[in-house]
Structure 1
């Protein structure tokens, strides 16, 4: 519960601030209570939309060094709340209306209807960029032939075979964006294609930067991003998730301050859930929670891409992601009960000495003893890909 102390404190602050905004605009107590209630609704909506974001954040954060982890939870919080919920929409207005940023800020604060019109008018470009980026995040996870455990083997097995094709996630995403572009025509089609390709390019650059400055190989040879590269990746990922929330918030209000406060509540709770997952070690305990999160990301990415033609209510989007995560959690608990030996700490596993040396097939029953096995021993004690 202590992981959520900061989130609860910010929630109280945000509700009081929203109430103050409501009272200053209406001069009535009912106006203050209405604004506070809307901020709470926005917070719940953003949290439900970002459950999968918390899981994915945790998968990256658990491998980050302590310095960059702390920066993500402090600097990253400021970027998430103020950068994406306030500055980003203002920049959209500035770019779309061809006005200076300070004029865009004036429009956002004083002319709520025009502000909403401009931001929602940029929906096609936002959906193309955010949807393409999220699709790449999800497909890159499943297009991997080195994953040890599968949740839905009949889906993930064939997808992992595509990993043998160079740049297969990029090819698949570009093909999806190109195919969906035929749902719109004229200027919107061009905007969608450019934005989608920009999302693909940004993902590639983020991965390249991560390999360049923050990549280290683990015992399996996979690249683990632990520094600036992981920080940048998480910030762009957060940005892609926030696109949907910012646009969806206009179904509730067009007040930029209220949107920032409400979505900020959700951003804080996502960080708290991320910390709880990392500190509690639940990603290892619930084996299929991680693939469940990436299934939810693909679903959200597809919803964003299809939103250029098909409008999906925010409540459906949020419930879909939550349902997928709930199913993966249930499958994880069920698998742990059926195969408890695979989760025993005393089984055969890899041991990492204080010097950083990895002992393959070491017996981990004791905390102070390490008994190397023969070189022919299995790298892990697990039998291979598992399905629920």
Structure 2
């Protein structure tokens, strides 16, 4: 099971580290290894959230996520994306941006740093909407019940998540963005840029999330009709084979996953510049890390871990909320990657331990005590 799920990751790791040695010697080997660990630690919450979505998709689309999705994640977000944002922010062509990335690494890093407020606003708004929609939904299983119960009641107000996200964006633009950090220690007013990028992130979430939700509802309706047909066939003494449904629903959920992964990777890509300016080493290290995040996602789905540890999804979404806040704060202030990683791992670890205590209490025939032990 482990080899089947993580085989590609092991292979890519070996190839990536060997390539690093040939490219820049043992120093490059160490840099790529550090970047890989950084990406895995920062994106662990990404794997948990992805698993919650991926388990709704059939085996074919899970494989697409692990193959085509990896190409998008590695080459799109970890290699092409840094070049694209430099080209857009510096108003230069993509070929010239690549030339900067390969031959003028310090100048390239400065341009990426200058583009950070827009990147942080876009990713922060997208992730904030995911968090808000989660905590405002009334769920049967609650982790921090003292907090989630009143929020679920507030969630009955239409468009509350959007209103809160816009307020957060407005406050961020009027505070953090008015003195956004630039290279060389200077501060400039990036309020307009942050507002535009944040609204773009919000619109992206609404479009992709809305389409995904629509087709997911259609999928559930089709599955319900299929189940009823199977029941009628069984009563009539006939055997009707089950049909695995995918199509548009799975496609838009896949699209949603890719945008989600992109938002998660923003801080990792920017933070990688603190370790190296070399775009090749960055792509190798973050690419290896992205492979493990995807393999871990599939592993969680196939092992049914989210069903066994019911608070993991809660912990991951709280980590998403924390990451959204960190991204918005980072418009002005520098936040160490270790802080981001520890907060995410800490929240998920807490939710995992709460799930373990709940499972033990249920096994002892004390379901009510399980909620108490979880801190609800």
The TM-score normalised by the length of structure 2 is 0.85
Q: Is this contact kept in 1: 2:125–2:169, CA < 8 A?
A: yes
Deviations 1:223-252 (A, max 9, x none): x99411101100000000111101000000
| Alignment of structure 1 residues 208-223 onto 2, 5 Å | 208-216=210-218, 218=220
Q: Report the counterpart of residue 14 of structure 2 in structure 1.
A: 12
Structure 2 segments unaligned to the other structure (5+ residues): 179-187, 225-245
Question: In structure 2, the residue corresponding to 1:102 is in which secondary structure?
Answer: helix
Q: Report the counterpart of residue 357 of structure 1 in structure 2.
A: none
Q: Is this contact kept in 2: 1:56–1:294, CA < 8 A?
A: yes
Q: Report the counterpart of residue 123 of structure 1 in structure 2.
A: 116
**Residue range with higher mean Cα deviation, 10-19 or 224-233:** 224-233
State the alpha-carbon separation in 1 of the partners of residues 353 and 59 from structure 2: 31
State the alpha-carbon separation in 1 of the partners of residues 84 and 257 from structure 2: 21
State the alpha-carbon separation in 1 of the partners of residues 112 and 142 from structure 2: 40
Across the aligned residues of Structure 1 and Structure 2, the Cα RMSD in angstroms comes to: 2.2
Question: 1:109 and 2:97 equivalent?
Answer: no
CA shift for structure 1 position 213:
4.3
**Residue range with higher mean Cα deviation, 55-64 or 66-75:** 66-75
Question: 1:258 and 2:281 equivalent?
Answer: yes
The TM-score normalised by the length of structure 1 is 0.83
Q: Report the counterpart of residue 234 of structure 1 in structure 2.
A: 257
Alpha carbons of structure 1 residues 341 and 203: separation in structure 2 relative to 1, 3 Å: farther
Number of equivalent positions = 337
Question: 1:96 and 2:96 equivalent?
Answer: no
CA shift for structure 1 position 135:
0.7
1:140 to 133, 142, 149: 133
1:174 to 145, 153, 166: 166
State the alpha-carbon separation in 1 of the partners of residues 219 and 159 from structure 2: 20
1:207 to 206, 209, 215: 209
Indicate the structure whose relative CO is greater, using CA pairs within 8 Å and at least 6 residues apart. Answer: 2
Alpha carbons of structure 1 residues 114 and 342: separation in structure 2 relative to 1, 3 Å: farther
Alpha carbons of structure 1 residues 279 and 342: separation in structure 2 relative to 1, 3 Å: farther
Question: In structure 1, the residue corresponding to 2:218 is in which secondary structure?
Answer: strand
Q: Report the counterpart of residue 334 of structure 1 in structure 2.
A: 357
CA shift for structure 1 position 210:
1.6
Q: Report the counterpart of residue 349 of structure 1 in structure 2.
A: none
State the alpha-carbon separation in 2 of the partners of residues 282 and 155 from structure 1: 25
Structure 1 segments unaligned to the other structure (5+ residues): 23-31, 344-381
CA shift for structure 1 position 187:
3.9
State the alpha-carbon separation in 2 of the partners of residues 65 and 4 from structure 1: 19
Q: Is this contact kept in 1: 2:66–2:295, CA < 8 A?
A: no
CA shift for structure 1 position 280:
0.3
CA shift for structure 1 position 332:
0.3
State the alpha-carbon separation in 2 of the partners of residues 256 and 171 from structure 1: 38
Q: Report the counterpart of residue 302 of structure 2 in structure 1.
A: 279
Q: Is this contact kept in 2: 1:62–1:278, CA < 8 A?
A: yes
Structure 1 outlier segments of 4+, above 6 Å: none
Q: Is this contact kept in 1: 2:121–2:195, CA < 8 A?
A: yes
**Residue range with higher mean Cα deviation, 55-64 or 178-187:** 178-187
Q: Report the counterpart of residue 47 of structure 2 in structure 1.
A: 54
Q: Is this contact kept in 2: 1:4–1:272, CA < 8 A?
A: yes
State the alpha-carbon separation in 2 of the partners of residues 215 and 199 from structure 1: 24
Q: Is this contact kept in 1: 2:358–2:371, CA < 8 A?
A: no
State the alpha-carbon separation in 1 of the partners of residues 216 and 365 from structure 2: 32
State the alpha-carbon separation in 1 of the partners of residues 257 and 165 from structure 2: 20
CA shift for structure 1 position 309:
2.1
Alpha carbons of structure 1 residues 342 and 18: separation in structure 2 relative to 1, 3 Å: farther
Question: In structure 2, the residue corresponding to 1:310 is in which secondary structure?
Answer: coil
Q: Is this contact kept in 2: 1:93–1:104, CA < 8 A?
A: yes
Q: Is this contact kept in 1: 2:215–2:249, CA < 8 A?
A: no
Q: Is this contact kept in 2: 1:149–1:386, CA < 8 A?
A: no
State the alpha-carbon separation in 2 of the partners of residues 217 and 290 from structure 1: 22
Alpha carbons of structure 1 residues 178 and 67: separation in structure 2 relative to 1, 3 Å: same
Deviations 1:342-388 (A, max 9, x none): 89xxxxxxxxxxxxxxxxxxxxxxxxxxxxxxxxxxxxxx99x9561
Q: Is this contact kept in 2: 1:112–1:255, CA < 8 A?
A: yes
2:148 to 144, 156, 162: 156
